[in-house]
Structure 1
Amino acid sequence: MARKFFITGGTGLIGRALVRALLAQRSALNIDQLTLLTRHPERFRAVAPDIADAEGIRLLQGDMSSVAWPKETFTDLVHGATDVNDMQVSDRLAYAWSIAEGTRRTLEYAKQSGCERYLYLSSGAVYGPGPYPEAGIPENWSTAPDLASPSTAYGQAKRFSEHLCALHAEQNPIAVRIARIFSVIGDESPLDGQYALGNFVQEAISPSAACIRIKGDGTASRSYLHVSDVAKWLLNLHERGPRISTFNVGAKREVTIRQLAEIVAGLSSPRKAVIVEGKTPNYGGRTRYFPDCQLIVAALGVTEEHSLEVAISSILSNLTGRQKSLHQPGN
């Protein structure tokens, strides 16, 4: 039987990488169609024409909160639609509710449309505070984000959404897999907003920036998995993971924010100085935030194929080339 995928969040950074991985495996996986839910089909077509114009792709215009689901059968549903830039959210109550309601609606739709597999893209934000083990945060980490803190709305909503997945799997034969995704890097990574990496890259290539600035004290640490590796891990999980399972998805290598800035500076030309402006961490209270991925590596044999240096070099090269092109005569 030919497979038909319904995908929410397929137009974001991780979603685009996953859709490209599915298109590359379309014949091997017997995929007939990939339906991508998007609020702005034409905008997406301009950003990713290779996906929008690919054979078997259908763009469905709509919003998670109000879309009229197609009355047809699908074999697979991937739910990844969430705006993770919660620092800019003005109404956290509505934001949290939209995450949980979106998950509930897609679970119901997966049941109604006859899906055999459901993949939920969750987040490492579901975990509570450390100190964490040296190897990173394991899937069985028992603490949760502070329920009394409005700033944990994203993590709380993702955590509750995971519980909805578990309840749905208890009552239905559908395979439900959950991926708790940590920090991601790739050529299409956003370079604005709340992320240190994007800010460092922007300052590295900006003629008007004299240095690369660290707003905190630089001691907080993260790890960064290349988005193409993320996509391969997600595809492996969706295809081969245990019927009801939850796995971390992230890089093993831990780097401090100071080290990250120094890597960006070292790969930039000309090299700029790194200046630490703050005296205390300012990264949401998570001093060390990276996953222990031993479970998914052991269960599915996934590997990291891209180093952090290679990923940052590619971003810098692409941006520098784009700047040169913009300043050529006639542009």
Structure 2
Amino acid sequence: MSDDLAFVPSRLDRHAPFYVAGHRGLAGSAVVRRLASEGFDRIVTRSSSELDLTERQDVFRFFREQRPRYVVLAAAKVGGILANSTYPVDFLSVNLRIQANVMDAAAETGVERLVFLGSSCIYPKLAAQPLREDSLLTGHLEPTNDAYAIAKIAGILHAQSVRRQYGLPWISVMPTNLYGPNDNFSPLGSHVLPALIRRYDEAAASGSAVVTNWGSGNPRREFMHVDDLASSIVHLMEHYDGASHVNVGTGRDLTIREVAEMIAELVGYRGETRWDTSQPDGTPQKLLDISLLRSTGWTPGIGLRGGLARTIAWYRRTDAELRVA
């Protein structure tokens, strides 16, 4: 089946089994919340202790037993610059195995619609901004997370290959930097925004006079609340069918310095911020071109300041052990 023949996106069956892989993570938990709010009543989830997605036989057995009609593949090993730089083998190997196992099992059991979640780090370090979908594989990757990026690129090609070989209308989405409930706030594993929230909140509570952040603060980043991502995923499953992956973002970016100032204000920190320029900045800018996403009729609804305030409130309500695990 070619892309221009048979399948026409339509409303998802709210009573069909819908498997969310990685339901306890930042993106997966948001997808579960979204599905529940829209009336899906057969949401299938498994914790990593119940189903190890790197174990191929177990994954195939699970799909044969559960027979999900829809799948969102949000399970992945993720982390910030430090974690990616320190453990590149883990980020490559674990993610390749998760993706291959889930997509192979889903193809064998005829999963109708699957969404693979990638990352904006798939694009070349120095690609023209904003990043278009066709910028993929046009230059060198950012070396601090190239292993993770290669795994995600392989996942995109896997979904595209299923379309070509089996005619299943699977798609991939490439989210920008996400934040929100159930993020990872640990010192080693967190991305930049939750790391900043934790750092400034602790400094405000302790009365620290100085907060020191990595890098120069000059790189520009785009941030999206994870509930917007979840909304876009359901929308795309019902309105988009194409071989190209789809960028999902807000279309606006700020410098890390500007974001840090916003977080400091929101948590009530009044001390000094310093920047350790001996530490790496990473990619100079990552702003997604979301023209394809907008053409499907979807736009983001949560502004950064409001989304940060909600995330900080969640972080403060959450048990200390859980929120930095």
TM-score, with structure 2 as normaliser: 0.82
**Offset of 1:320 from its aligned partner?**
4.7
User: Do residues 177 (structure 1) and 171 (structure 2) align?
Assistant: yes
**Which has the bigger relative contact order, CA under 8 A and spacing at least 6?**
2
> Using the alignment, how far apart are the partners of 1:148 and 1:77 within structure 2?
30
Per-residue CA distance 1:252-305 (angstroms, 9 max, x = gap)? 2211011111111222324333222326x7233x01012111110112x11221
What residue number does 2:8 align with?
Answer: none
What residue number does 1:311 align with?
Answer: 307
- Aligned residue for 1:258, secondary structure, equals helix
Structure 2: gaps (5+ residues): 1-12, 320-325
Amino acid of the structure 2 residue aligned with 1:278: T
User: Do residues 152 (structure 1) and 146 (structure 2) align?
Assistant: yes
**Offset of 1:121 from its aligned partner?**
0.6
> Using the alignment, how far apart are the partners of 1:113 and 1:131 within structure 2?
38
> Using the alignment, how far apart are the partners of 1:312 and 1:114 within structure 2?
40
What residue number does 2:27 align with?
Answer: 14
**Offset of 1:213 from its aligned partner?**
2.3
Amino acid of the structure 2 residue aligned with 1:152: D
- Listed as ranges, the matches of 1:78-157 within 5 Å are 78-85=72-79, 87-88=82-83, 92-133=88-129, 136-143=130-137, 146=140, 151-157=145-151
Q: Rate the CA distance shift 1:271–1:64 in 2: closer, same or farther, 3 A.
A: same
Q: Percent identity?
A: 21
Aligned residues of 1:76 and 1:116 also touching (Cα < 8 A): yes
Aligned residues of 2:160 and 2:171 also touching (Cα < 8 A): no
What residue number does 2:10 align with?
Answer: none
Bigger Cα displacement from structure 2, 245-254 vs 137-146: 137-146
> Using the alignment, how far apart are the partners of 1:172 and 1:259 within structure 2?
47
Bigger Cα displacement from structure 2, 259-268 vs 193-202: 193-202
Q: Rate the CA distance shift 1:172–1:322 in 2: closer, same or farther, 3 A.
A: closer
Amino acid of the structure 1 residue aligned with 2:220: S
Aligned residues of 1:145 and 1:152 also touching (Cα < 8 A): no
- Aligned residue for 2:146, secondary structure, equals helix
Amino acid of the structure 2 residue aligned with 1:38: S
> Using the alignment, how far apart are the partners of 1:150 and 1:185 within structure 2?
20
**Offset of 1:243 from its aligned partner?**
4.6
Q: Rate the CA distance shift 1:88–1:321 in 2: closer, same or farther, 3 A.
A: closer
> Using the alignment, how far apart are the partners of 1:91 and 1:257 within structure 2?
24
Bigger Cα displacement from structure 2, 195-204 vs 287-296: 195-204
What residue number does 2:275 align with?
Answer: 276
Q: Rate the CA distance shift 1:191–1:149 in 2: closer, same or farther, 3 A.
A: closer
Per-residue CA distance 1:62-104 (angstroms, 9 max, x = gap)? 1111124232322112212111116436653354133223222
- Aligned residue for 1:114, secondary structure, equals coil
What residue number does 1:58 align with?
Answer: none
**Offset of 1:144 from its aligned partner?**
5.0
Say which structure is richer in helix: 2
> Using the alignment, how far apart are the partners of 1:32 and 1:115 within structure 2?
18
- Aligned residue for 1:155, secondary structure, equals helix
TM-score, with structure 1 as normaliser: 0.81
Report how many residues are paired.
295
- Aligned residue for 2:245, secondary structure, equals strand
Q: Rate the CA distance shift 1:188–1:99 in 2: closer, same or farther, 3 A.
A: closer
Q: Rate the CA distance shift 1:289–1:147 in 2: closer, same or farther, 3 A.
A: closer
What residue number does 1:57 align with?
Answer: none
Aligned residues of 2:117 and 2:174 also touching (Cα < 8 A): yes
What residue number does 1:298 align with?
Answer: 295
Aligned residues of 2:122 and 2:136 also touching (Cα < 8 A): no
Q: Rate the CA distance shift 1:244–1:317 in 2: closer, same or farther, 3 A.
A: same
Aligned residues of 1:129 and 1:144 also touching (Cα < 8 A): no
**Offset of 1:169 from its aligned partner?**
1.1
Q: Rate the CA distance shift 1:267–1:7 in 2: closer, same or farther, 3 A.
A: closer
**Offset of 1:142 from its aligned partner?**
4.3
Root-mean-square deviation (Å):
2.6
> Using the alignment, how far apart are the partners of 2:164 and 2:317 within structure 1?
51
Q: Rate the CA distance shift 1:101–1:32 in 2: closer, same or farther, 3 A.
A: same
Aligned residues of 2:131 and 2:289 also touching (Cα < 8 A): yes
Aligned residues of 1:9 and 1:15 also touching (Cα < 8 A): yes
